[in-house]
């Protein structure tokens, strides 16, 4: 695991992301919609915890324009312990059902555990969304063995499902870039396809609100590395705090604004709860960018 920032990364040519026969090049946007198979999600409070509710939610999100569905079985924040067996029970059958119902859709699974990754890859997942920054090196080995994609995120080197206390960085953006690109190169060395890797600054993970805003303001430095960048900002705490302490239910407009700023700086994949609104916002950004060019 990388432990400290390295010298500034030399910008590279933009790469094309390829997942399940689809290609997303520079200027393309992919909507990744969240399906929480958890009883305690901060956003939906368990409304898609039941098996049928989760599968039906995936279908609705795909109809609303999602290119990718991201299925998760463990709440990101602190809470009840969920062991690997329970996480597998929550997500593997949903992955298989969504794959059977929607053979063309890209399926992602939000997990940091290699034992979970192996089962969901066998069930039909195309992407492993490791939001906790490579705490289990075996995840990259699973991605390589099954030919699936991998998200390499920056979580401030904290333990999964913990909130950092007074975390600090000399330059948070430099730290994010150094860490995620090192993870990406390590994944390539492990055998993961280079064109199936994304990097993710992971807003709010191992960061306070100021850090997340700084990452958003300077996201162009991250996209300049050439790696496809995923942003997951939907209804997050930093959006609410930046707007004066808004609760989760009132962060929709702030989420869309943050998506637009990220897209204009070259982000490629957008993890959201509301696929239809995200698709509309990104369509406007694409028209604006085309008019500018």
The encoded tokens of residue 92 equal: 């593997």
The question of whether 271 is a catalytic residue gets the answer yes
Distance CA(111)–CA(131), nearest Å, equals 7
- Give the active site residue among 90, 113, 251, 271: 271
- Give the active site residue among 90, 157, 207, 236: 236
CA 33 from chain centre, in angstroms, equals 10
The question of whether 6 is a catalytic residue gets the answer no
| Catalytic center residues | 236, 271
């Amino acid at each position: 695991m990388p432990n400290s920032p390295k010298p500034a990364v030399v910008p590279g040519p933009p790469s094309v992301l390829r997942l399940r026969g689809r290609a997303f090049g520079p200027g393309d946007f992919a909507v990744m919609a969240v399906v929480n198979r958890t009883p305690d999600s901060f956003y939906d409070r368990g409304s898609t915890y039941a098996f049928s509710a989760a599968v039906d939610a995936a279908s609705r999100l795909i109809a609303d324009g999602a290119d990718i569905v991201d299925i998760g079985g463990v709440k990101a924040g602190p809470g009840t312990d969920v062991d690997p067996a329970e996480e597998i029970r929550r997500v593997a059958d949903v992955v298989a059902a969504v794959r059977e119902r929607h053979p063309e859709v890209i399926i992602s699974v939000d997990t940091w555990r290699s034992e979970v990754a192996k089962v969901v890859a066998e069930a039909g997942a195309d992407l492993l969304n490791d939001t906790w920054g490579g705490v289990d090196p075996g995840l990259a080995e699973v991605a390589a063995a099954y030919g699936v994609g991998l998200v390499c995120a920056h979580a401030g080197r904290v333990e999964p499902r913990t909130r950092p206390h007074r975390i600090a960085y000399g330059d948070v953006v430099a730290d994010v870039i150094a860490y995620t690109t090192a993870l990406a190169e390590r994944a390539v060395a492990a055998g993961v396809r280079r064109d199936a890797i994304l990097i993710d600054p992971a807003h709010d993970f191992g960061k306070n609100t100021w850090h997340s805003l700084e990452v958003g303001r300077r996201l162009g430095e991250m996209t300049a590395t050439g790696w496809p960048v995923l942003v997951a900002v939907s209804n997050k705490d930093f959006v609410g705090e930046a707007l004066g302490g808004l609760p989760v239910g009132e962060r929709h407009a702030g989420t869309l604004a943050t998506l637009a700023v990220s897209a204009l700086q070259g982000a490629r994949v957008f993890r959201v709860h509301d696929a239809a609104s995200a698709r509309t916002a990104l369509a406007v950004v694409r028209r604006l960018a085309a008019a500018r060019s």
